[in-house]
Amino acid sequence: MLMPILQVNSEDIPEFVIVCGDPKRAELISRKLDGAKELAFSREYRTFVGTYEGVEVGVTSHGVGSPGAAVCFEELIRAGAKTLIRVGTAGSYQADTPAGSLVVSTAAIRTDGLTKQLVPDGFPAVADSAVVEALYESALSLGEGVVRKGMTVTLDVFFNGVEEFPHPKYKAAGALGVEMEISALYVVAALRGVRAGAIVAIDGFADADLAAEYDPNTNVVSDAVEREIHAALIAVAKLAKQG
């Protein structure tokens, strides 16, 4: 069956799929796979398949923001995906988690608009515990940089308007960082009965002046992205062996 938005056939999608925002990052991840081939490039959704340590793995980009990302997650699940792992970037809330750190998201604070239209206010956005542990152990095994696990915030807004960002209160509450899609991933996964997790590379501090300080294109960040990709693939191999 052809998925109308992703433009992939359901028989081509494996049980394990790594998702990311940037189509270029999807291609980067695919280069780590054996026998990788591109299935489709429709809108922001670019899909590859290949194998890693003998495990079939899909890679799909989902673009920026929860609504479009949720379309990607829904169609991947309808096509047969059973475990989704987001590999992305985030802004840090904590001084001990600087640019270049890796954060495994155990749960997402839902400040996005999409999930409010899917589930009631009290519904949590929580990662699968086995996926979290596989990601965390895999990231630690690489032996480089700061690796943390904890809550992240999913926020729709990137550039500020007249309303204040909610960063200070979530920082005070202990959230590790902020990004734009994880809550959608966790809620959709819960609704559809599949597993999900996420690992993000920190690309700066969320409360920095974007115009003056934000630069996600440094070597420190690109090295962290390489590590998180490696960690996600190792985690997939671990999870596949666990059955």
In a domain, 1, yes or no: no
Residue 146: exposed, middle, or buried by beta-carbon count in 10 A (0-12, 13-18, 19+)? middle
138-167 pLDDT, tens digit each: 999 999 899 999 999 999 999 889 999 999
In a domain, 93, yes or no: yes
Q: Which residues are catalytic?
A: 203
Residue 213 reports pLDDT greater than 80: no
CB 39 within 8 A of CB 105: no
Listed in sequence order, the residues at least 6 apart from 12 whose beta carbon sits closer than 8 Å to its beta carbon are 39, 49, 79
CB 76 within 8 A of CB 60: yes
Residue 42 reports pLDDT greater than 80: yes
Residue 175 lies in domain: 10-242
Give one DSSP letter per residue of 72-92, joined into a string: HHHHHHHTT--EEEEEEEEEE
Region 223-228: mean pLDDT is 97
In a domain, 171, yes or no: yes
Residue 185 reports pLDDT greater than 60: yes
In a domain, 4, yes or no: no
CB 102 within 8 A of CB 201: yes
Total number of domains constituting the chain: 1
- Exposed e or buried b per residue across 112-122, where buried means at least 16 C-beta atoms within 10 angstroms of its C-beta: bebbeebeeee
Residue 224, domain CATH: 3.40.50.1580
Per-residue confidence (pLDDT) for residue 214, from 0 to 100: 74
Helix (H, G, I), strand (E, B), or coil: what is residue 194? coil
Inter-CA distances, 204 with 60, 101, 172, 210, Å: 25, 9, 18, 10
In a domain, 151, yes or no: yes
Residue 212 reports pLDDT greater than 70: no
9-30 pLDDT, tens digit each: 999 999 999 999 999 999 999 9
Residue 78: exposed, middle, or buried by beta-carbon count in 10 A (0-12, 13-18, 19+)? middle
Q: With pLDDT > 70 as the criterion, what percentage of the chain qualifies?
A: 98
Per-residue confidence (pLDDT) for residue 216, from 0 to 100: 80
